[in-house]
Amino acid sequence: IIFFAFVMQEAMTDIGIADYIITLVQPHVNAVIFPLVTFLVVAILNFSTGSVWGIPAIVAPILLPLAESIGTNLLVMGAIVSGATLGSHACFYSDATVLTSSCCKIENMDHALSQIPYALCASGISALGYLVCGALL
């Protein structure tokens, strides 16, 4: 999966997808809320796919230059990584959930459902933190 994520990343670089996305999205984004939006989008993508490594490898080459072009600091990289972690731990079929439930000898869905309240609490605190840090920095 990691190999194909890097192949996809290289292909996107070759066709210039980052420049295209920057040109398309830059007029519509705000530097204050961009870290928050990045965190939420990456978390949703990771929750949907269960791929903790694939999504960051694909979105980082697009979102980091976009963040730089609108004047946001590298807090966006933290938002990518933490969004990926949140999505992976909240997803019931991700490798982290499956591995943990099998090691603890509990049902996968029981473990996944036990993690949702913690994931929602952490995501709320993180979202607020990214909004505050985006406004301050």
Q: List C-alpha distances in Å: 60 to 74, 113, 117.
A: 11, 29, 28
What global pTM score does this model have?
Answer: 0.84
pLDDT tens digits, residue range 5-31? 778 778 878 888 878 888 888 888 889
For the ranges 7-11, 76-80, 91-95, 105-109, the maximum mean pLDDT occurs at: 76-80
Nearest Cα neighbor of 89 from 126, 56, 123 is 123
Q: How many CB atoms lie within 10 A of CB 98?
A: 16
What's the pLDDT tens digit per position in 31-61?
A: 999 999 999 999 999 988 887 888 888 888 8
Maximal CA-CA distance, the chain: 50
* Secondary structure E strands in the chain: none
Whether 102 and 110 have beta carbons less than 8 Å apart is answered as no
Give the tens place of pLDDT for each residue, 57-73.
Answer: 888 888 998 999 888 87
